[in-house]
Amino acid sequence: MQNMYSYAREKYAAIGVDTEAAIAKLSAMPISLHCWQGDDIKGFANDGELSGGIQTTGNYPGAARNPEELMADLDKAFSLMPGKQRLNVHACYPIFEKGEWVDLDALEPKHFAKWVEFAKERGLGLDFNPSCFSHPLADDGLTLSHPKKEIRDFWIRHCIACIRISEYFARETGTPCLMNIWIPDGYKDIPADRLGPRKRFADSLDEILACGYDKNLVYVALESKVFGIGVESYTVGSAEFGLNYAASRGIMSLMDNGHYHPTEVVSDKLSSMLLFNEKVALHVTRAVRWDSDHVVLLDDETKEIANEIVRNDACDRVLIALDYFDASINRLSAWVVGMRNMQKALLCALLTPHADFTKMQDEGNTTELMAMREELKSYPWGEVWAEFCRRSGVIEDSKWFDEIKTYEKEVLSKRV
């Protein structure tokens, strides 16, 4: 094993790439794991059905039914992921005392105390998200842009409650909490008024931000979307809305790479974002035609996103989270595959002689650039990955899947 790594280290050294530096950098890069893949975004706030332009499909057995099961599943999944993670919690995952219940606009830090305890025991940072969906007041697919003031006010109170919970997360864990706002608002058919809903959304966001919060503790981000199921003709929080709002109010933009037209790629957007913003947040997913939520693979776009982060020296300026929900396969496996792939993509990017390649581009040496990049594809990055896993104390190869099979047999299959 060790000599396979030594061989890889020398091979990379010969092209000026330091594998030790790559491993060190990757070990320090946290990726935020989305709790909602574990139970198909059902959460614990109510027993309602999922609504609001997002949908899970599939009925693979064994979804977590309560906080204990979700935490146990997360633990198992984390044990199969090398490196550093954060945990991304949605507001629809409060953990109430027996008999207790409050609506989304009355959530308090104490309702998330068990998540804080979970995170602290495992040394995880926490991120957070208002849940503006799957609720009677979001039934018509409108929340912060709703024409009725009392409905907008409910969601404004919800988002402010989420800012308080995010502050609590940050204080308790000692790392800033990214709080990402996404709303499903839009129309199935051609709207009669496009400006009005966007103006109302902007006003609602202004009210939320006016609550006053510590910007060193909470990074508020706004996620845009091109369309959703049931809102095919118009989404209030479009890309232009998101970018302009975030830039004008000094909050962060969050780009989900499943939220653009099919030939648009986030990898190409990152450099522009980095030129004009201190930080940018990502939801890494895999878009398949009209759907935006498939498990992340080690595909070209994931690798190119990683290249842009690494070669622009933006590892601490791009906040990476995963976001997908597949209910048709083992949910832990979905978590692990997506996390390991994002990390593999980052590792490949860290093992690329970017300065040399840039020089080739600048000198017009595009023939050599193509030849060298193609050669690099068969370099032994897998040996460096294996070494990274060994140092993290995590199974390095496909044997991790045996753990999933055992867990499925011993734990998941008994959840009936």
Per CB under 6 A, residues contacting ligand RNT are 36, 41, 54, 90, 129, 182, 223, 225, 256, 283, 292, 323
Would residue 185 show up in a list of annotated catalytic residues for this protein?
Answer: no
Query: DSSP assignment, residue 64?
Result: -
- CB-CB contact of 133 with 43 (8 Å): no
Cα(281)–Cα(288) distance, rounded to whole angstroms? 21
Task: Calculate ∠ Cα 270-209-257, nearest 5°.
Answer: 25
Q: How many CB atoms lie within 10 A of CB 216?
A: 8
- The least distance separating ligand RNT from the CB of residue 327, rounded to whole angstroms, comes to 13
Task: Kindly determine how many residues on this chain lie close enough to bind Zn ion according to the rule CB under 5 A.
Answer: 3
Would residue 291 show up in a list of annotated catalytic residues for this protein?
Answer: yes
- Which is the catalytic residue, given 291, 304, 403, 408? 291
Indicate whether 323 belongs to the interface with Zn ion (CB under 5 A).
Answer: yes
Indicate whether 225 belongs to the interface with Zn ion (CB under 5 A).
Answer: no
Length of the chain: 416
Would residue 409 show up in a list of annotated catalytic residues for this protein?
Answer: no
- The least distance separating ligand RNT from the CB of residue 140, rounded to whole angstroms, comes to 18
User: Which stretches of 106-219 are DSSP H helices?
Assistant: 113-122, 149-173, 195-209
Nearer to Zn ion, 73 or 323 (CB): 323
User: Which stretches of 63-148 are DSSP H helices?
Assistant: 67-78, 113-122
- Which is the catalytic residue, given 36, 115, 155, 182? 182
What's the CA dihedral at 399, 331, 176, 286 to 10 degrees? 90
Judged by CB under 5 A, the residue of 39, 40, 167, 256 near Zn ion is: 256
Nearer to ligand RNT, 146 or 283 (CB): 283
Nearer to ligand RNT, 36 or 112 (CB): 36
Would residue 225 show up in a list of annotated catalytic residues for this protein?
Answer: yes
Nearer to Zn ion, 76 or 90 (CB): 90
Would residue 203 show up in a list of annotated catalytic residues for this protein?
Answer: no
C-alpha pair distances (Å), 302 with each of 257, 306, 325, 347, 392? 9, 6, 17, 12, 23
Would residue 182 show up in a list of annotated catalytic residues for this protein?
Answer: yes
- The least distance separating Zn ion from the CB of residue 73, rounded to whole angstroms, comes to 21
- The least distance separating Zn ion from the CB of residue 287, rounded to whole angstroms, comes to 11
Would residue 256 show up in a list of annotated catalytic residues for this protein?
Answer: yes
C-alpha pair distances (Å), 124 with each of 81, 168, 216? 13, 14, 18
Cα(78)–Cα(336) distance, rounded to whole angstroms? 8
User: Which stretches of 40-131 are DSSP H helices?
Assistant: 67-78, 113-122
Nearer to ligand RNT, 90 or 135 (CB): 90
Judged by CB under 5 A, the residue of 157, 198, 283, 331 near Zn ion is: 283
- The least distance separating ligand RNT from the CB of residue 99, rounded to whole angstroms, comes to 28
What residues does 281 pair with on adjacent strands?
Answer: 254, 319
- CB-CB contact of 299 with 338 (8 Å): no
- The least distance separating Zn ion from the CB of residue 9, rounded to whole angstroms, comes to 37
| Closest residue to ligand RNT, based on beta-carbon distance | 182
Nearer to Zn ion, 185 or 323 (CB): 323
- Which is the catalytic residue, given 293, 301, 326, 387? 293
Catalytic amino acids?
182, 223, 225, 256, 259, 283, 291, 293, 323
What does the binding site for Zn ion look like in residue numbers (CB under 5 A)? 256, 283, 323
